[in-house]
Amino acid sequence: MTEMGGPVADFRARRLWVVDALRMRLAAPASTTLNQRLYDALRDWIQSGELAAGSLLPSSRQLAGELRIGRNSVVTAIERLVAEGFVETRPGAGAFVSEWGARGGVEIDDSPTAMPTLSRRGTRVLAFGATLAARHTAFAPGVPALDRFPRERWQRLLRRHQQRAPVDWFDYQTQGGVPALREALCDYLRLSRSVRCHPDQILITQGAQQGFELIARLLADAGDSVWLEEPGYGGAQACFASAGLELQPVEVDAHGVNLDRVPAGAASPALIYVTPSHQYPSGVTLSLARRTALLETAKRLGAWIIEDDYDSEFRYASAPLASLQGLVASAPVIYVGTFSKVLYPGLRLGYLVLPEALVEPFRRANARLHREGQYPVQAALADFIAEGHFARHVATMRDCYRQRQACLREALAPAVRQGLVLSEGQAGMHLVAELESHALESVLVSRARAQGILLSPLSAFYLESPGRPGLVLGYAGATAAEIAAAGAWLAGAWLSASGRAATRAGGAT
Ligand SMILES: Cc1ncc(COP(=O)(O)O)c(C=O)c1O
C-alpha cells in the first residue's frame, strides 16, 4: 500500500484513500470470499505498519456503506481481527489497531538490519564526504543568506505563474526550459559574463549537479579520464566518479589550475572541470595566460571544458571576470551556472550553455533521463530577472557578504595578528585559513564539533591525500552576530591549539 504515501495513522484522516485502496483489493480477481479479502487487506496493512497502533477503524456500518458491500462481511472480518488480537474494541469509542498487531503480530527482533551492499560505484560516491549535517549557522561553505531572500516578492510571482500556467505545462516538457527564462538568462549572461550565446543554447537543469551528470553521461564513457582541480569541489568529484570516470587531479596554484603539473603519461581527458572565476575552494582566479593554455590544450586533446561559474556574482574588489566560454569563438566549453548561490539551493535550478552542436542531443537526453518540469517556477524566475529583482538581490547580497566577511576577519583578528593566514577574499562566500599541520586541522575540527560548530577541513577537498591543511570558512549564510561568536571561538581555539598567546589589537607580539 505504499502508493498511499506512508503510514495511515487514522482511517478518518485518510478515509478516501483507504476506502479506494480497499475497493481495489476487493475488486481484484480472487477465489476467496469478500470478508476474507477484507480481512486479508486490513491485516496486511496492520502488520506492515501502514495502519499504526491506535488507528481508529470506521464503524462496520460506515465501512460497508463506503465499500458498497454487505455489513455482515465487514462485521465478520473485523470480529476475526479482534479475535486474533490485531484489533481491540473500546466500549463507546470503536475499534482500534492494537499495539501487538502493529508490531506485526509477533515479537519483534530488534537487532539492527545488515547494511545493504552498495555497488562499487555507490560506495565510491559516498566516499566524497557528503554529509547530511543539520543546518549549521556559521562556517558552512556555499550557503547563501537564506534569511535575506525576498520571500514575499518571490511568492507573489510564484502565485501569479501557478495561476496562469497554460494546461500544456502540466504535460511532459522538451523545450529545454521556459523560453522566457532562457531569454532573460541569455541577456544577463551576455552582459554580465560575456558569455557567447542565444537562448536556444541554454538548457535549464535541476541545479549545476544535474548539468555535470548530463555532461558526464553524454560526453564521456566509463573509464575515460576527467581532469579536475586539486583541491576541488566534492559535488563534481562525486558526480564524475559515479559515472565511472577516472579522476585525474591537477594542482591549483596562485594562478589557478596548472596544466603543466599534469603527471607525464596521464590519460588524455574527455572532460576538464574548472572553476575559473573563483576556484573552489582556494578562491584564486584563473589567469589569462592559463585560460589561453587551457583552451589550447582542450582543443588539442579533443576534450570538453566544463566551466563551473557558481558564484562569480560576488566579487568585492573588482567587476567579475569575463567567462572562459566567451574568450574565443567556438571554444570547446560548456558553461554551467546555478541559482543555488545567488538565490537559494533548495530552488534546484541551474543551466548549461551548450555549443550549438550539443543543444539537440542534450535536450533529448535530459528529457529522457530526467524529464523537465517546474515550468511555473521557471516562469516566475524569468519575471524575477526581467523585473530587476534579481539584479537588486545580487547587489544587496554583495553588500551583505562583504560585511559578513569583514565581520569574520574582525573576529579572527587576534589570531591573524599571531600569524593565522587568511585568503584574500576578493570574491565569493568563504575564506580559507591556512594551518601549519594536519594535526592542528583535526584538533580544531573536533573541538569545533564539540561546540556544535561545523568546520570544513581544507584537506578533505583533495582527491590525493594528504592535501594542504586548512579550514574553509563560509560566512555568507550566518548573521553578523553568529559569525562574530563563532569567529571569536575559532580565534581562541587556534591561539590555544597552536600555542600562541593573544595580543591586544595593534600591540606587539
Ligand atoms: C563549486 C560549486 N559548483 C556548483 C555548486 C552548486 O551546485 P547546485 O546547482 O547543484 O546546487 C556548488 C554548491 O555548493 C559549488 O560549490
CA 395 to mean position of chain CA atoms: 24
128, 228, 308, 314, best to mutate for ligand 1 pocket (most atoms within 8 Å of CB): 308
Phi-psi group of 265: left, alpha or beta (phi > 0 → left; psi -120 to 50 → alpha; rest → beta): left
Interval between CA 470 and ligand 1 midpoint (Å): 21
Residue 8 has pLDDT above 60, yes or no: no
Distance of alpha carbon 3 from alpha carbon 447, whole angstroms: 45
Residue 486's domain is classified under what CATH number? 3.90.1150.10
pLDDT of residue 49: 83
Per-residue DSSP letter, 200: G
Closest Cα to atom 14, ligand 1: which residue? 142
Q: Give the lowest-confidence range in 25-29, 158-162, 228-232.
A: 25-29
Phi, psi of 338 (to 5 degrees): -145, 150
Using the 3D structure, point to which of 388, 405, 438 is the last residue of a domain.
388
Within this chain, do residues 373 and 311 fall inside the same structural domain, yes or no?
Answer: yes
Please report the atom of ligand 1 found closest to the CA of residue 280.
1
Interval between CA 209 and ligand 1 midpoint (Å): 7
pLDDT of residue 357: 96
Closest Cα to atom 4, ligand 1: which residue? 310
Give 365-409 pLDDT, tens digit per residue. 999 999 998 999 999 999 999 999 999 999 999 999 999 999 999
Interval between CA 306 and ligand 1 midpoint (Å): 13
Residues with Cβ < 8 Å from 62, sequence gap 6 or more?
Answer: none
Tell whether ligand 1 has an atom less than 6 A from the beta carbon of residue 338.
yes
Over residues 459-478, the mean pLDDT reads 95
Interval between CA 302 and ligand 1 midpoint (Å): 26
Phi-psi group of 306: left, alpha or beta (phi > 0 → left; psi -120 to 50 → alpha; rest → beta): beta
Interval between CA 130 and ligand 1 midpoint (Å): 13
Q: In this structure, is residue 113 part of a structural domain?
A: no
248 contacts 223 by C-beta, under 8 angstroms: no
Interval between CA 151 and ligand 1 midpoint (Å): 22
Tell whether ligand 1 has an atom less than 6 A from the beta carbon of residue 207.
yes
Tell whether ligand 1 has an atom less than 6 A from the beta carbon of residue 345.
yes
Residue 10 has pLDDT above 60, yes or no: no
Q: In this structure, is residue 335 part of a structural domain?
A: yes
Name the band, by pLDDT with cuts 50, 70 and 90, for residue 7.
Answer: very low
pLDDT of residue 4: 42
Which strands sit side by side in the sheet containing 470-474, from one edge to the other? 421-422, 430-434, 470-474, 456-457
Tell whether ligand 1 has an atom less than 6 A from the beta carbon of residue 275.
yes
Q: Which domain holds residue 71?
A: 2-102
Interval between CA 208 and ligand 1 midpoint (Å): 6
Within this chain, do residues 375 and 442 fall inside the same structural domain, yes or no?
Answer: no
Q: In this structure, is residue 138 part of a structural domain?
A: no
Tell whether ligand 1 has an atom less than 6 A from the beta carbon of residue 308.
yes
Within this chain, do residues 373 and 403 fall inside the same structural domain, yes or no?
Answer: no
Q: In this structure, is residue 36 part of a structural domain?
A: yes
Within this chain, do residues 398 and 369 fall inside the same structural domain, yes or no?
Answer: no
Tell whether ligand 1 has an atom less than 6 A from the beta carbon of residue 336.
no
Residue 67's domain is classified under what CATH number? 1.10.10.10
Within this chain, do residues 338 and 432 fall inside the same structural domain, yes or no?
Answer: no
Pairing type for strands 350-353 and 202-205 reads antiparallel
Within this chain, do residues 418 and 376 fall inside the same structural domain, yes or no?
Answer: no
Over residues 187-209, the mean pLDDT reads 96
Work out how many domains the chain is built from and give that number. Answer: 3
Q: pLDDT exceeding 70 applies to what percent of the chain?
A: 93
pLDDT of residue 12: 64
Q: In this structure, is residue 145 part of a structural domain?
A: no
203, 233, 279, best to mutate for ligand 1 pocket (most atoms within 8 Å of CB): 233
417 contacts 503 by C-beta, under 8 angstroms: yes
Q: What is the mean pLDDT of the chain?
A: 91
Q: In this structure, is residue 266 part of a structural domain?
A: yes
Within this chain, do residues 335 and 465 fall inside the same structural domain, yes or no?
Answer: no
Over residues 47-54, the mean pLDDT reads 86
Q: In this structure, is residue 141 part of a structural domain?
A: no
Interval between CA 244 and ligand 1 midpoint (Å): 20
Q: In this structure, is residue 133 part of a structural domain?
A: no
As given in the structure block, the three cell numbers for residue 382 are 524569468
User: What element of type H or E holds 272?
Assistant: strand 269-274
Using the 3D structure, point to which of 45, 77, 102 is the last residue of a domain.
102
Within this chain, do residues 218 and 268 fall inside the same structural domain, yes or no?
Answer: yes
Tell whether ligand 1 has an atom less than 6 A from the beta carbon of residue 142.
yes
Interval between CA 457 and ligand 1 midpoint (Å): 18
As given in the structure block, the three cell numbers for residue 436 are 601549519
Distance of alpha carbon 117 from alpha carbon 318, whole angstroms: 50
Residue 232's domain is classified under what CATH number? 3.40.640.10
pLDDT of residue 319: 76
* Cell 537564506 found at: 146
Within this chain, do residues 83 and 154 fall inside the same structural domain, yes or no?
Answer: no
pLDDT of residue 18: 79
Residue 284 or 47, more confident = 284
Terminal-to-terminal C-alpha distance of the chain: 70
Using the 3D structure, point to which of 102, 122, 140 is the last residue of a domain.
102
Pairing type for strands 87-90 and 430-434 reads unpaired
Residue 124 or 143, more confident = 143
Residue 476 has pLDDT above 70, yes or no: yes
Within this chain, do residues 438 and 417 fall inside the same structural domain, yes or no?
Answer: yes
Within this chain, do residues 360 and 229 fall inside the same structural domain, yes or no?
Answer: yes
Q: pLDDT exceeding 90 applies to what percent of the chain?
A: 72
The pTM of the full predicted model, rounded to 2 decimals, is 0.85
pLDDT of residue 481: 95
* 17, 45, 189 from 8: Cα distances, Å: 9, 9, 49
Within this chain, do residues 420 and 362 fall inside the same structural domain, yes or no?
Answer: no
